A and B are shown apart, each in its own frame.
Chain A
């Protein structure tokens, strides 16, 4: 299966620690997205890349969050000085852009973060 892969699947961390998540998109996909999902809510947009360029970042995203996609392939999402409110499922998705921008996103299994 060459779907979107996320690592780790689960992460428990103490408040104040830094965490980093990795996402490997479908290999030919040039767009990569990060979302956050909490119980009873839909996925909330965090940021997205086209190749290595970060094109949009949610205004809800604090400066403790940073994402990179250095070579236009895998991406990392880092959360510094974690807070209990950061506990959520972090989802990665990828898509293949077309001239019209119409494409579906393929999602990974997610990384469940618990901050204690």
Chain B
């Protein structure tokens, strides 16, 4: 079955620390990749997306992600986190050999940034 794995369930960092959140997927074929963020009390918002082209994509608020096809990974990074980055982060995938348009989400990573 198609799935998305996020191995870090809870991450606690101090401000200015660097962040990397892992995401692996089990699709074959061409996929579209996404990172969404959910701030406390708010709806899911898109951080960044990868459809094709340069595997290093930049999103909002200084976030970036790298698509490594050989590793089926799409890890999220930020060089220096801020207290306001405290949120839950979800990796999502669609496409693949079945060509499905539904988005499959990982279980999420809850990030807490200490001031």
Contact = CB atoms under 8 A, between A and B. Distances in A.
A102 interface: yes
B44 interface: yes
B102 to A, nearest CB: 5
B90 interface: yes
Nearest to B99: A101
B11 interface: no
Interface residues of B, number: 27
B102 A110 contact: no
B103 to A, nearest CB: 6
Contacts, number: 63
Given A31-B101, A48-B102, A42 B43 contact: no
Interface residues of A, number: 28
Prevailing SS type, chain B contact patch: strand
A115 B106 CA distance: 26
B101 A97 contact: yes
B51 A42 contact: no
Contacts of A40: 107-108
Interface string A1-43: 0000000000000000000000000000001010100001111
Interface of A: 31, 33, 35, 40-45, 48, 50, 55-56, 91, 93, 95, 97, 100-110
